[in-house]
């Protein structure tokens, strides 16, 4: 295993632990080309990060469950993403 991948996994673990300590539900983790992506359930912290400019919405669309938007923020080199329904 390359040292870059090992580093990405350690960073991912630390971010997941920090998110869970704040009460955020982690739904999944993938590493794409060395870039960790952590999928979470929307949490009050997301709204705080959006209003403070540290998170943004990057995608709007329509899926099986209806219209949605996807938010993202970066924490310690990991992309943290969530989806929410638009009513």
Domain ranges of the chain: 3-85
Instruction: Show pLDDT as tens, one digit a residue, over the chain (87 residues).
Output: 688 888 888 999 999 999 999 999 999 999 887 789 999 999 999 999 999 999 999 988 887 878 889 999 999 999 999 998 876
Q: Determine what percent of the chain falls in helix, strand and coil, rounding each to the nearest 5.
A: 30, 45, 25
Taking the C-alpha atoms of residue 83 and residue 3, their distance in angstroms, rounded to an integer, is 31
Taking the C-alpha atoms of residue 87 and residue 61, their distance in angstroms, rounded to an integer, is 12
Q: Could you tell me if 69 and 75 are in contact, meaning their C-beta atoms sit under 8 angstroms apart? A: no
pTM: 0.88
pLDDT given for residue 1 in this prediction? 60
pLDDT given for residue 35 in this prediction? 87
């Amino acid at each position: 295993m390359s040292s870059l991948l090992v580093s990405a996994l350690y960073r991912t673990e630390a971010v997941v632990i920090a998110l869970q300590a704040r009460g955020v539900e982690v739904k999944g983790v993938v590493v794409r080309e060395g870039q960790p992506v952590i999928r979470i359930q929307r949490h009050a912290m997301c709204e705080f990060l959006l209003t403070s400019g540290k998170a943004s919405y990057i995608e709007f669309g329509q899926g099986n469950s209806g219209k949605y938007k996807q938010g993202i923020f970066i924490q310690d080199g990991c992309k943290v993403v969530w989806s929410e329904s638009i009513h």
